[in-house]
Amino acid sequence: MKVLIPIKRVPDTDQKIQVKPDGSGIVTDGLPFVINPFDAIAVEEALRIREKSTDTVEVLAASIGPEVCEQQLRTALAMGADNATLIQCDASLDPWNVACVLRAFAGRYQPDLILMGKQGVDDDLSQTGQMLAALLDWPQATFASKIEFLGSGLRVTRETDAGLEIVRVTLPAVVTADLRLNEPRYASMTSIMKARKKTIERITTTELGVTIEPRLQLLGLEAVPSRRKSVRVGSLDELLVKLRAEEKLL
Amino acid sequence: MRALIICEHDGKGIRLGSRSAVAFANAVAEETRGSIECVLLGHSLAAVTQDASTYAPVLVADHPALENPVADRYAKVIADVVRQRGYDLVVAAATTFAKDILPRAAGLLGGAMASEVIGHEFRDGRLCFRRPLFAGAVVATVALNAKPQIVTIRPSAYPAASARPERCGVTSFAVDEAALPKKTEFEVLQSKLSNRPDVTEARIVVSGGRGIKNSEDFERLVGGLADRLHAATGSSRALVDAGITPNAFQVGQTGKVVAPDLYIALGISGAVQHLAGMKNSKTVVAINSDPEAPIFEVADYGLVGDVYELVPQWIARLNGK
Ligand SMILES: Cc1cc2nc3c(=O)[nH]c(=O)nc-3n(C[C@H](O)[C@H](O)[C@H](O)COP(=O)(O)OP(=O)(O)OC[C@H]3O[C@@H](n4cnc5c(N)ncnc54)[C@H](O)[C@@H]3O)c2cc1C
């Protein structure tokens, strides 16, 4: 079985994000980047599938973007992915573009399962997996918190607003990972060293026959200032007085 | 613009969030001299149709094969409706229902989608959307380059539409069962019934974090205060991960986004991912034993102290003691 894990490079979630003065983007100088946390969960799940399976399972990590995305692919390799491909592209990409590139790539690689993060923690769009499933005409199971193999398909527990939903999908399928699917492992120093020596395949979006036509156009960014009163109250009674008298609440 | 609202329902009526989607669509239609319609998908939709028709003209796709909200089927029906009837704008409330189904429909309809919209405007006649990035630290203005434009809106940003004086028309949409995808089978929805309101729909939300040690304490302190205030209960991710609260309680970047009149954070540190889900609340109160906790920066009123002492006192005050 072949499992494809698309990897997005995103700013470290602990970092403070600053907008460029002209609003055209964020300040990236000195900003550390990581694998999108949800994609790391997808990598971990693929590794667990491989560890538990009696068949051979191949885990391929693929990232679309400029050369720097190699760093995140190295992290995926250090975690234990078998192979990695960098799909080279310098243009900025929206979910539709990523889905189109991944469809073309899936056409070559022929995975049985595409396991990906439920959203990027940078743009929080949560679209790519679903769009990709539509383009491939595969079933999807989004926001997965548990994945079980059942004969020729999967039984997936999904986290929804209404509670946990269980669906069965046939393979091939697209599954997107939620936070509680697992806790990703840290790569050991030895595996990080080993991952440095692995070759990362390269292919361009042009070679895949995809032209990048953005659907979601960014017009500008603004930082959001906090406009809170930030009053420290000394006691519960003072708090209740404020809420009742000033906020007309309770 | 001609707008189509995908209405989410519970088998009886449409969800409050869908009424916010109607309000958004109404605003765009008014500004463009356009029109709106809504579509219902499901089975045995008589009651829901009645309810929906008080807000907008309704299209009903009622079929046993649509009994449960399975993404591939629902997206196919939505795409068929849009192709046959021609809409410029397709909108739904940003819930897990829509987050699952709408991007898939967008994949079938050209891929122009903006998620979690919190505002809109026209620039030189072009519809532009405002949406948060980076856990709400940044707001982007975006536009969509293809038709139809597909969006999910945050209900907290658009007050729910009110009922029209007269009912609107109802049209049924024929579902071709043979053409529906059959690769997904719905097994079950395990929902924990709660007698408290949903966090996204309540006026007051009482939320607990790691400062609360176990389920009993959560129920006694967070639940107890919530009940006295007729509030919903929420929590940080830490408590969901610890198995103390169910997933549906999680407020934040990757959970639910709420904007009640009053948000009370008990023993929550205020990580950016949590703030992303509550910082647009009208008034925020935080109780935390750590005077340096970041939650105080986004709170209108901060009280330094132990929730185990203060919350029982608060409940006692509300009980008239
Ligand atoms: C990709 C990603 C997505 C995430 N998504 C979310 C999300 O959607 N929602 C979310 O909430 N988090 C999310 N997180 C997690 C987030 O980063 C924080 O870890 C989490 O919010 C912390 O929860 P907490 O405030 O309850 O716990 P802590 O950070 O441990 O804080 C506990 C607080 O309780 C206080 N306290 C302890 N005892 C008492 C007491 N007796 N009385 C009063 N105060 C007390 C402490 O001073 C402390 O401030 C996400 C993280 C990542 C990486």
| Residue B204 CA: distances (Å) to CA of B216, B234, B255, B263, B265 | 21, 10, 18, 6, 11
Closest to B153 measured CA to CA, from B119, B123, B127: B119
Q: Per-residue confidence of chain A (250 residues) as pLDDT tens digits? A: 999 999 999 999 989 999 999 999 999 999 999 999 999 999 999 999 999 999 999 999 999 999 999 999 999 999 999 999 999 999 999 999 999 999 999 999 999 999 999 999 999 999 999 999 999 999 999 999 999 999 889 999 999 988 899 999 999 999 999 999 999 999 999 999 999 999 999 999 999 999 999 999 999 999 988 778 889 999 999 999 999 988 888 7
The CATH number given to whatever domain includes residue B146 is 3.40.50.620
β strands within A123-230, DSSP E: 140-150, 153-160, 163-170, 173-177, 201-204, 216-223
pLDDT at A249: 83
Q: pTM of the full predicted structure?
A: 0.95
Ligand 1 geometric centre to CA of B292 (Å):
14
Note whether B52 and B170 are same-domain residues. Answer: yes
Please state the atom number of ligand 1 nearest to the C-alpha of residue B254: 8
Q: Does A125 sit within 8 Å of B115, measured CB to CB?
A: yes
Say if ligand 1 is within 6 A of residue A15 CB.
no
What domains does chain A contain, in order, with CATH numbers?
2-249 (3.40.50.620)
Decide if B276 is inside a domain. yes
Residues of B in contact with A128 (CB under 8 A): 103
Note whether B246 and B302 are same-domain residues. Answer: yes
Q: Does A125 sit within 8 Å of B105, measured CB to CB?
A: no
Decide if B186 is inside a domain. no
Ligand 1 geometric centre to CA of A223 (Å):
23
Say if ligand 1 is within 6 A of residue B256 CB.
no
Note whether B73 and B219 are same-domain residues. Answer: no
Last residue of a domain, one of B146, B162, B179: B179
Q: How far apart are CA A139 and CA B74, in angstroms?
A: 12
Task: Tell me the residues of chain A between 102 and 131 that have a Cβ less than 8 Å away from chain B.
Answer: 118-119, 121-131
Q: What is the DSSP string of B109-151?
A: TT--EEEEE-EEEEETTEEEEEEEEGGGTEEEEEEE-SSSEEE
pLDDT tens sequence across B149-169: 999 999 999 999 999 999 999
- Which portions of chain B are predicted below pLDDT 50? none
Residues of B in contact with A19 (CB under 8 A): 138
- Half-sphere exposure for B160 (CA within 13 Å, toward CB): 14
Say if ligand 1 is within 6 A of residue B307 CB.
yes
Residues of B in contact with A16 (CB under 8 A): 137
Torsion from C-alpha of A16, A22, A23, A25, nearest 10 degrees: -70
ipTM attached to this prediction? 0.96
3-state secondary structure (DSSP) of residue A111: coil
pLDDT at A248: 84
Which domain covers residue B88, as residue numbers?
A: 2-179
pLDDT at B321: 65
Report strand pairing: B58-62 vs B35-42: parallel
Q: What is the DSSP string of B17-49?
A: HHHHHHHHHHHHHHHHT-EEEEEEEESS-HHHH
Angle (CA) B23-B27-B33 rounded to 5° is 135
Please state the atom number of ligand 1 nearest to the C-alpha of residue B269: 49
Residues of B in contact with A121 (CB under 8 A): 134-135, 253-254
Note whether B39 and B133 are same-domain residues. Answer: yes
- A35 interfaces chain B, CB cutoff of 8 Å: no
